[in-house]
Amino acid sequence: MRIRLLQGLALLATGLLAGAFGYGAANLVPTFNAVPLDMRLSFHAELMKMNGITMQAAMAVATLSSLALATLTRERARLIAGTAGLLTLASFLTTRLGNVPINGRIKEWALTSAPADHAEILRRWELFNDLRTLTALTAFALLIVLALRPPSTDQKQPHATPA
């Protein structure tokens, strides 16, 4: 029962993470690229204020629940859950080391002006965004595979025999 609850939490958190990043990649980034630069910078800076806590919380819960699931399972299930946990950790590290520093620059640009090389910096932000989206989606897919697998013989509940 504990493993099933943990698996549900890992699926929920990783699904929310993959969904948020997927929505951003499919809808926000193309919109960012379609509007004037000053509008993009202002909206991007405001959006990052909102995303800071919620996205970090989703990444933390997704990573911790997936890794905890890996410690409580065996064999192939452990490998799948552990890989999902490492992929969500990769999403966090990509965000923290790639996107967040650029977000800080974007926030400054929104108040002043963008530098001459802003297009290259924004392309790099999008590359980091694509990478974290891919790692989160892959982690979610792995946890779905794990949830759909039939339980192994050592994890099956014994059936009650009729009296």
User: 44-74 burial by CB neighbour count: b if 16+ within 10 A, else e?
Assistant: bbeebeebeeebeebbebbbbbbbbbbeebe
SS3 for 120? helix
| Burial of 119: CB neighbours in 10 Å, binned 0-12, 13-18, 19+ | exposed
Q: For 95-114, what is each residue's pLDDT tens digit?
A: 999 999 999 999 999 999 99
User: Cα separation of 104 and 111, whole Å?
Assistant: 11
The H or E element containing residue 69 is helix 37-72
16 Cα distance to chain centroid = 8
Taking 50 as the pLDDT cut, the residues of the chain under it are 154-161
Cα dihedral sign for 17, 145, 72, 90?
A: negative
Amino acid at residue number 105? R
The pLDDT of residue 84 is 97
**Residue at token pair 């970090």:** 56
Q: Which two tokens stand for residue 65?
A: 């629940």
User: Cα separation of 106 and 85, whole Å?
Assistant: 30
The pLDDT of residue 157 is 46
139 Cα distance to chain centroid = 8
The pLDDT of residue 153 is 54
The pLDDT of residue 50 is 83
The pLDDT of residue 51 is 87
